[in-house]
């Protein structure tokens, strides 16, 4: 059984964060493990409170896993603050961890800052060089590069800049552009445009978490990187197609294969 670790925040309503990651791992037939970086109080209407886990306890969680278990892939999501980022980077280097998917989570769809504003540069400096693949959405790509993105040309420019920050692959998710939900995968030499149909639903809570966890699952299972992304896109598209309401606000996607 392949083993995949998520390093991320807990979402009490189960649609995003650690909970979405573990559901995605199970749906992919891989064994899921979690290092919790923060606990959020949230529901389909928004995020109401966050408590960061102490960097020491994050280090202890990581050591407990890496001292004992071979990890086939890692997904990193909400990292909240500078001390958390530094602790994670140090442990990943110490244990020479490979196959790292970084989802540079910054702001929730409901507008809550899941990454403190002074921690953006630390994420860029400490986590992007360790990433096999980084998966920013358009707003995150803009925040990382300072480029205002309105077209595929600007997505390409942003991808090139992000690639220079260290990850082997950059997947910019174009879901927030008008028209098709086109993503762009860049490996440092060529661009691959990955279009997919736009699904009409308000229930998209946790889509970024789910996509990055699906990519990590596929990498752990031994698929090539491009194939891992393509398959993960199929997974999230189906998950959004079957999304549903659980409360008054933005509902979750459905996890099955
Ligand atoms: N909560 C946690 C713990 C997350 O990690 C994320 C996204 O990565 C979110 C909430 C945001 O979810 P969304 O913006 O899809 O609603």
Tens digits of residue pLDDT in 90-118 = 999 999 999 999 999 999 988 999 999 99
Give a yes or no: residue 248 inside a domain.
Answer: no
Give a yes or no: residue 160 inside a domain.
Answer: yes
CATH of the domain at 204: 3.40.1190.20
**ipTM of predicted assembly, 2 dp:** 0.94
Give a yes or no: residue 254 inside a domain.
Answer: no
Tens digits of residue pLDDT in 141-173 = 999 999 999 988 999 999 999 999 999 999 999
Alpha-carbon radius of gyration of the chain:
17
- pLDDT, residue 181, reads 73
- Predicted TM-score (pTM) of the model is 0.97
Looking at the CA of residue 11, tell me the nearest atom of ligand 1: 3
212 CA from centroid of ligand 1 (Å): 12
Q: Which of 24, 132, 135, 207 is catalytic?
A: 207
Give the pLDDT band (50/70/90) at residue 176: low
Give a yes or no: residue 253 inside a domain.
Answer: no
Give the pLDDT band (50/70/90) at residue 182: confident
Average pLDDT of the residues in 177-191: 88
Active site residue 206: yes
Give a yes or no: residue 183 inside a domain.
Answer: yes
Q: Which of 2, 23, 173, 233 is catalytic?
A: 173
Give a yes or no: residue 197 inside a domain.
Answer: yes
Q: Ligand 1 — pocket residues by CB below 6 A?
A: 8-9, 11, 16-17, 40, 77-78, 105, 108-109, 114, 205-209
DSSP string for 161-199: HHHHTS-SEEEEE-TTSSSS--EEEE-SS-EEEE--PPP
Into how many domains does the chain fold?
1
Domain encompassing residue 236? 3-241
Give a yes or no: residue 249 inside a domain.
Answer: no
């Amino acid at each position: 059984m392949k083993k995949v670790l998520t390093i991320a925040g807990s979402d009490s309503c189960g649609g995003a964060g650690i909970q979405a990651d573990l559901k995605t791992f199970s749906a992919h037939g891989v064994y899921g493990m979690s290092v919790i970086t923060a606990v959020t109080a949230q529901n389909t209407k928004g995020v109401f409170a966050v408590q960061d886990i102490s960097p020491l306890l994050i280090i202890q969680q990581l050591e407990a896993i890496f001292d004992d278990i071979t990890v086939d892939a890692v997904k990193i999501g909400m990292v909240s603050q500078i001390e958390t980022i530094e602790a994670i980077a140090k442990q990943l280097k110490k244990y020479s961890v490979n196959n790292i998917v970084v989802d540079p989570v910054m702001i929730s769809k409901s507008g809550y800052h899941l990454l403190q504003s002074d921690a953006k540069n630390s994420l860029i400096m400490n986590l992007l060089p360790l990433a096999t693949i980084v998966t920013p959405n358009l707003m995150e790509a803009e925040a990382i590069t300072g480029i205002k993105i309105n077209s595929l040309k600007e997505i390409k420019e942003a991808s090139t800049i992000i690639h220079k920050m260290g990850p082997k692959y950059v997947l910019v998710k174009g879901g927030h552009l008008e028209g098709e939900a086109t993503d762009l995968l860049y490996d440092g030499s060529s661009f691959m445009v990955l279009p997919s149909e736009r699904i009409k639903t308000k229930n998209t809570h946790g889509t970024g978490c789910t996509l990055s966890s699906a990519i990590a699952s596929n990498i752990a299972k031994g698929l090539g990187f491009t194939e891992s992304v393509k398959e993960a896109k199929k997974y999230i598209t189906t998950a959004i197609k079957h999304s549903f309401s659980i409360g008054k606000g933005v509902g979750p996607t459905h996890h099955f294969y």
